[in-house]
Amino acid sequence: MRAQASWLALPPEPWKNGGGVTRTVSVDAVQQPPRWRVSVADIDRAGPYSRYAGYDRVSVVLTGGGVALRAGDASVCLAPGVATAFTGDAAFDCRLTDGPVRVLNLFVLRGAARASVMCIGAPQDPKPALAGSQHTRQPGSPPAPQLATQPVLHAGNLTSDGAMTQTLRIAIAIQAGRLNVAPGADDILLAAGDYAIGLCADDAAPIRYIATTPPRPGGLAAVLLDVVVTAPAFP
pLDDT value, residue 122: 52
Residues 71/25/191/214 CA torsion (nearest 10 deg) = 30
Give a yes or no: residue 60 inside a domain. yes
Q: What is the mean pLDDT of residues 22-28?
A: 95
192 φ, ψ to 5°? -60, 130
**Omega within 30 of 0 (cis) for the link into 33:** yes
> In which domain, by residue range, is 101 found?
2-123+149-230
Could you please report the per-residue DSSP string of 119-183?
EEE--SSSSPPEES---PPPTTPPPPP-EEEPPPEEEEEE--TT--EEEEEEEEESS-EEEE-ST
Give a yes or no: residue 208 inside a domain. yes
% of the chain surpassing 70 pLDDT: 84
Q: What is the CATH number of the domain that holds 108?
A: 2.60.120.10
8 φ, ψ to 5°? -65, -20
Alpha-carbon span 172 to 109, nearest angstrom = 21
Give a yes or no: residue 187 inside a domain. yes
3-state secondary structure of 6: coil
Alpha-carbon span 173 to 152, nearest angstrom = 17
pLDDT value, residue 218: 66
128 φ, ψ to 5°? -80, 160
Q: Count structural domains, the chain.
A: 1
**Residues 96-155: tens digit of each pLDDT:** 999 999 999 999 999 999 999 999 985 443 333 222 223 323 334 444 444 566 788 999
**Residues 186-209: tens digit of each pLDDT:** 889 999 999 999 888 777 778 888
Give a yes or no: residue 17 inside a domain. yes
Q: What is the mean pLDDT of residues 214-222?
A: 76
Give a yes or no: residue 130 inside a domain. no
Give a yes or no: residue 132 inside a domain. no
Give a yes or no: residue 140 inside a domain. no
Give a yes or no: residue 72 inside a domain. yes
Burial (Cβ within 10 Å: 0-12, 13-18, ≥19) of residue 190: buried
